[in-house]
């Protein structure tokens, strides 16, 4: 699994999830339920991960959607 992005912006998380779903790229959203622990303050960022094989396609998709600046380093 490769981390695609990390953000506190739940709207961005939703938009990226919709883009990935539309492209049929499987992904996992981590730390979404941490808001229960943190009291809904939005301090802990949510992370979207994709399979290693889908990483390049997912990054290309987000770059084409104008969200390339949100991507984590590809290391």
pLDDT band for 10, please (50, 70, 90 cuts).
confident
Strand partners for 28: 49
In angstroms, the Cα distances linking 51 to 36, 58, 70 are 27, 10, 18
Q: Which residues of 1-24 are buried (b: 16+ CB within 10 A; e: fewer)?
A: ebbbbbbeeeeebeebeebbeeee
Domain count, the chain: 1
Asked whether residue 75 is domain-assigned, the answer is: no
CATH of the domain at 64: 3.30.70.790
Look at residue 33 in the predicted model and tell me its pLDDT.
Answer: 77
Does the pLDDT of residue 40 top 70, yes or no? no
Asked whether residue 26 is domain-assigned, the answer is: yes
Q: pTM for the complete prediction? A: 0.85
> Domain span at residue 12?
2-70
Look at residue 20 in the predicted model and tell me its pLDDT.
Answer: 98
């Amino acid at each position: 699994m490769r981390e695609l992005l990390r953000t506190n912006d739940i709207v961005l998380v939703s938009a990226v999830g919709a883009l990935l779903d539309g492209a049929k790229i499987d992904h996992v959203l981590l730390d979404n339920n941490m808001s229960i622990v943190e009291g809904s303050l939005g301090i802990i960022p949510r992370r979207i991960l994709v399979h290693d094989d889908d990483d390049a396609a997912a990054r290309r998709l987000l770059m084409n959607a104008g969200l390339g600046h949100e991507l984590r380093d590809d290391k």
